[in-house]
Amino acid sequence: MRRSYAGAAKAAQLTVILDGTTAALTIECDDLSNYPTGASGPFYIVVDRGQVTEEKILCESRTDNTITVYNTGLINGRGADGTTVLSHYVGAEVEHVFTATDADEANAHVNTSSLHVTVCTSSTRPVSPSANQVILETDTHSFYAYIDGAWVYVGEIPIPAGGGNDKVFWENDIDVTGDYTITVGKNAGTFGPVTINSGVTVTVPSGSVWSVV
């Protein structure tokens, strides 16, 4: 999930005891100025950092000096990031914090190519692609996915072209070189004339129309 962060969030102190139970979902502090409000996503705090009672908590929102703990009924924010749900007393230090969970998720996304789109050209495709990796070729405006050891065409972004800033001309190839089936429930259009190569089949489902103009 997307989480929010804020700079200049100074350490605060509890003004009310926080019980050591997942049912304790309200955190009262003396000054939570500059802490996230949760408008851009939940955020983490840590209570009693560096103490035997250290607990990280995923928080839903903040209103003034009151924090509401994240809780969906299935996911509870108490005892987050590998810590334990514990009791904390008045005066316990509270800090806005970046967690191991944050770092691990970012690291996994950056280093797992199948989780994002790689931008390249038709001549600079990844040499050793990962299974299910997706690329966008900027020269062909096409998306490909690496499936079962081969690049599979997914689709393209049709971009009208023209001189200068004109967006006037839509172009298509004049030869059909591979089998193609029009999507069920869709019509298709092509600027002709167009040639279907020998051995190639274009399938038009019942109820669909392929118009060559």
Residue 1 lies in a domain: no
For the chain, residues with pLDDT lower than 50 are none
pLDDT for the residue numbered 211: 96
Tell whether 95 and 123 lie within a shared domain.
no
8 Å CB contact between 105 and 32 = no
Residue 189 lies in a domain: yes
**Partners of 189 in beta bridges:** 211
**The dihedral sign for the CA sequence 95, 100, 102, 106:** positive
Out of 81, 105, 129, a domain closes at: 105
pLDDT for the residue numbered 46: 98
Q: In angstroms, what CA-CA distances link 101 with 49, 81, 84, 96, 158? A: 16, 6, 15, 14, 39
Tell whether 179 and 157 lie within a shared domain.
no
pLDDT for the residue numbered 188: 94
pLDDT for the residue numbered 64: 97
Residue 5 lies in a domain: no
Residue 18 three-state SS = strand
Question: Which pairing describes strands 210-212 and 188-190: parallel, antiparallel, or unpaired?
Answer: parallel
Question: What are the tokens at 65?
Answer: 């000096």
Residue 2 lies in a domain: no
Tell whether 119 and 201 lie within a shared domain.
no
Q: In angstroms, what CA-CA distances link 202 with 28, 45, 59, 143, 157? A: 66, 58, 54, 21, 21
Residue 202 lies in a domain: yes
Tell whether 137 and 186 lie within a shared domain.
no
Name which of 58, 92, 64 is nearest 77 in CA terms.
58
Tell whether 136 and 188 lie within a shared domain.
no
pLDDT for the residue numbered 26: 98
Tell me how many domains the chain contains: 3
Tell whether 92 and 25 lie within a shared domain.
yes
Q: What are phi and psi of 105, to 5 degrees?
A: -65, -45
Q: How far apart are CA 16 and CA 22, in angstroms?
A: 16
Rg (CA), the chain: 28
Tell whether 56 and 83 lie within a shared domain.
yes
- Domain range spanning residue 205? 172-213
Tell whether 22 and 88 lie within a shared domain.
yes
Per-residue pLDDT tens digits for 49-96: 999 999 999 999 999 999 999 999 999 999 999 999 999 999 999 999
Question: What are the tokens at 70?
Answer: 């994240």
Name which of 137, 144, 141 is nearest 114 in CA terms.
144
| pTM attached to this predicted model | 0.62
Residue 3 lies in a domain: no
Out of 75, 105, 135, a domain closes at: 105
Please give the span between the terminal C-alpha atoms of the chain, in angstroms, as a whole number.
Answer: 47
Tell whether 24 and 94 lie within a shared domain.
yes
pLDDT for the residue numbered 74: 94
Out of 127, 150, 165, a domain closes at: 165
pLDDT for the residue numbered 159: 75
Question: What are the tokens at 106?
Answer: 């970012």
Alpha-carbon torsion, ordered 174, 125, 134, 156, to 10 deg: -20
pLDDT for the residue numbered 130: 87
Beta carbons within 10 angstroms of residue 3's beta carbon: 19
